A and B are shown apart, each in its own frame.
Chain A
Amino acid sequence: MGIETPNGFKLDNAGRRIVVDPVTRIEGHMRVEVNVDADNIIRNAVSTGTMWRGIEVILKGRDPRDAWAFTERICGVCTGTHALTSVRAVENALGINIPENANSIRNIMQLTLQVHDHLVHFYHLHALDWVDVVSALSADPKATSALAQSISDWPLSSPGYFRDLQGRLKKFVDSGQLGPFKNGYWGHAAYKLPPEANLMAVAHYLEALDFQKEIVKIHTVYGGKNPHPNWLVGGVPSPINVDGVGAVGAINMERLNLVSSIIDQAIAFTEQVYLPDLKAIGSFYKDWLHGGGLSSTSVMSYGDIPEHANDYTDASLKLPRGVILNGKLDEIYPIDLANPDEVQEFVTHSWYKYPDETKGLHPWDGITEPHFELGPNARGTKTNIEALDEAAKYSFIKSPRWKGHAVEVGPLARYVIGYAQGKAEFKEPVDKLLTDLGLPLTALFSTLGRTAARALECQWAARQLRYFQDKLVANIKAGDLSTANTDKWTPDTWPKEAKGVGFTEAPRGALGHWIRIKDGKIDNYQAVVPTTWNGSPRDPQGNIGAFEAALLDTPMADPEKPLEILRTLHSFDPCLACSTHVMSEDGQDMATVTVR
């Protein structure tokens, strides 16, 4: 039966139902069900997170100054970005200002995460949706070398290098384990790269794996340790001792120089490996421009990376802030995260109970009361769901909406907003990439556009790292060594009741934490994470979220091997661990596909 959603998408669930479960390559668990028509084109999409969350259950009654350490454990990937959002929420509630050095160091921590996460996502989680590893075995190393040298000056590009790499890959594949590559649909008709491009990409897969050990050293220097770096309400935990020689945790000249050299490497790797690869891969997929979903209509970014400490205005935030609705790129709405009528979470189609489910709740008033029941048209049982009933409750993810609108968040949303604002640092790289690939601006609104925006943002973040590192060093040299403000450290300086909101742009999109503090303890704490925005189920009006919208109208070469679905969902860099948690223990294979 065909319907049109209020946000402008046509849905028809009459055709065959395809169930893909799970769809993430990393921790977390999500499932998608689609209906395809007689031509195997997706006409209905149902995205669900089959897991549960509610950090307030754990945080209630604890010390607000420790909340970051708990939120850092929600997710295995964006540990630091949750911690940063948390300390900002507490500082906002209590009116605590941080020193300039702390602002620069926090920006460096956050930008490091952007670079790290984007690299790992592209090479280790998403590239395999575009790159056929097995095809790389039949590449000619000489031709691979010629290809690599034609697109970049990166030194690791000799025929011998690719021959050795191919030998290692062959040995690995012949051993029968395939390891990180075991879940691919190798040989699928939707793979378009020649063997040489595949071999080059596999080589860079390994180089990126090696490089990540360097980039995380920045977290070790400024956060004291990694994984799970330290954070501090009021600033950053590591003191600056320029002439020090190894006091534990202190930032000295030697460590500042180490960070500086790693930033140089990050810029080089991004500009000489990641971007050329993105462009080379993109050039073979120019006719696969599906997956745009909400990106051409409704996108949102909270903004991040403040130029000046404690200034979270649009002018200070270097990552763009605002909302675009209904495709009107010339109108960017301001965001007020404290306004009860803006960000709201609905549960009409989520497995929770509200007193009145026609209304959404602002996160300060948020509640998380699980209520798991299948709709009348679901098939199977609660422990073995064969098909969901999307007319009823069907996900453990809530539906956040901005003034009632479903929006996409993430790198593409940030770039669309930055482009619409006419900011050269976002607009020019987009225009150049599209021109080089011979594509129109509309091509940006696609799965490939999402993947490209992430690569461009990685380069932007690497350059901003250089900017804030230089700013930090200059400020230290000018004699400012302050890294923390402890004026309001003790609870006796706090009001009896306070509430605050902290926000960041996590690698995968807008992240907000809302806190209520009462008598020095946490009274309520709600995190609305990027994958909740993108992966949300329908809302009371029937608007679909970003994942669901992006899957519509995509043709599938072979519904039993849903590479196209995985490609589009992976392009969002979904992280279900923080929006949800594993409830069932099965589903160890990447995707069990059921056609009904």
Chain B
Amino acid sequence: MTVLVLGIGNILWADEGFGVRAVEAFHRLYAMADGVDLLDGGTQGLYLVNQVAEAERLLVFDAIDYGLPPGRLKVVTGDEVPKFTGAKKMSLHQTGFQEVLSAADLMDRYPQDIVLIGCQPLDLEDWGGPLTAPVAASIGPAIALAADILAGWGVAPVLRTAPLPPESGLLGNDIDRAAYERPRADAS
């Protein structure tokens, strides 16, 4: 079985980076089972269609404006995912990601299972800023949820004895979360 765990969002815009930061943290804490791919999808939009189309099961992390308190997680599954992302003011990538799902459908290669773990953002306009506290606090619970979902699909990830060091993470070159968010005394 092929399972894709996909994080989408733009790390340069504070809570917009939730999806990418979640998949980054998931990778550092857990080793995936065979057949499970983790992908930092960034803001690639339609360019992600082939990875999505090749997955039998798809788990997505994204910042979603549900109108809930900041940091609140909400899981949406199956046919609800495109419908849900189709409503107004939901995800900043929804046009993109909804199109990705539709395009996969049109190609006749729609994943049999789709789960969306969405997090309510607080601040999407802090250019260069970190995840806000409530959203940062939701990364751990979001990962725990993801681990349960993968276990339910028969591909439980294994908790690493120690988290991977940042240099072995999905994002390098100073854009891993700790380096990206560190205070820089010499920056104005």
Contact = CB atoms under 8 A, between A and B. Distances in A.
Interface in B139-154: none
Contacts, number: 130
Nearest to A183: B95
A127 to B, nearest CB: 13
B112 interface: no
Given A63-B174, A582-B92, A52 B45 contact: no
Interface stretch (A74-82, A400-408, A422-430): A74-82
Contact of A73 (B11, B98, B102): B11
Interface string B67-106: 0000000000000001000001100111110110111011
B175 A76 contact: no
A383 interface: no
A77 B93 CA distance: 13
Contact of B95 (A63, A213, A588): A588
A228 B40 contact: yes
A172 B186 contact: no
B45 A213 contact: no
A585 B103 contact: no
A227 B41 contact: yes
A76 B46 CA distance: 10
A76 B45 contact: yes
B12 A73 contact: yes
Contact of B106 (A58, A179, A212, A585): A179
B135 interface: no
Contacts of B12: 58, 70, 73-74
Q: Looking at chain A, what size class is its interface with the partner chain?
A: 35 or more
Interface string A428-470: 0000000000000000000000000000000000000000000
A201 to B, nearest CB: 14
A197 interface: no
Contacts of B105: 172, 177, 179
Given A61-B186, A228-B40, A27 B89 contact: no
B41 A206 contact: no
A514 interface: no
A588 B87 CA distance: 9
A60 B92 CA distance: 27
B107 A179 contact: no
Contacts of B41: 227
A88 B175 CA distance: 20
A74 B88 CA distance: 25
B46 A120 contact: yes
Interface in A6-54: 25-27, 52-54
Q: Looking at chain B, what size class is its interface with the partner chain?
A: 35 or more
A199 to B, nearest CB: 14
A241 B125 CA distance: 45
A52 B124 CA distance: 12
Contacts of A168: 106, 108
A210 B107 contact: yes
Interface centre among B65, B101, B175 (most CB of A within 10 A): B175
Nearest to A124: B46
A58 B98 CA distance: 30
Contact of B42 (A57, A65, A76, A588): A76
Interface in B162-180: 171-175
Interface centre among A52, A74, A168, A179 (most CB of B within 10 A): A179
B89 A120 contact: no
B1 interface: no
Interface centre among B10, B47, B102, B127 (most CB of A within 10 A): B47
Nearest to A182: B102
Contacts of A57: 127-128
B89 A588 contact: yes
Contact of A227 (B10, B42, B102, B106): B42
B10 A73 contact: yes
B159 to A, nearest CB: 24
Contacts of B161: none
Contact of B40 (A58, A178, A180, A227): A227
Interface centre among A53, A73, A120 (most CB of B within 10 A): A73
Nearest to A24: B95
Contact of B13 (A61, A62, A120, A581): A581
B122 interface: no
Interface string B14-45: 00000000000000000000000001111111
Given A52-B127, A179-B103, A77 B186 contact: no
Given A73-B12, A76-B42, A588-B89, A227 B172 contact: no
A79 B108 contact: no
B49 interface: yes
Nearest to B47: A227
Contact of A77 (B45, B89, B108, B125): B45
Nearest to B105: A179
A27 B93 contact: yes
A73 B88 contact: no
Contact of A172 (B13, B45, B94, B106): B106
A581 B106 CA distance: 30
Contacts of B2: none
Contact of A66 (B50, B89, B174): B174
B43 A76 contact: yes
Nearest to B12: A73
Contacts of B173: 65-66, 68-69, 230
A168 B109 CA distance: 12
B184 A26 contact: no
A245 interface: no
B101 to A, nearest CB: 8
A177 B46 CA distance: 17
Contacts of A102: none
Given A69-B173, A70-B174, A58 B96 contact: no
7 contacts: A26-B45, A27-B96, A61-B185, A61-B187, A66-B173, A73-B175, A209-B49
Interface of B: 10-13, 39-50, 54, 65, 82, 88-89, 92-96, 98-99, 101-103, 105-108, 124-125, 127-128, 171-175, 184-188
Given A69-B173, A581-B13, 16 more contacts: A27-B95, A62-B184, A73-B175, A75-B43, A76-B42, A76-B96, A124-B103, A169-B106, A179-B98, A179-B101, A179-B105, A206-B106, A209-B49, A582-B124, A586-B89, A588-B94
Query: 9 closest A-B pairs (Cβ-Cβ)?
Result: A179-B102, A76-B43, A213-B50, A69-B173, A58-B128, A61-B187, A66-B174, A61-B186, A61-B184
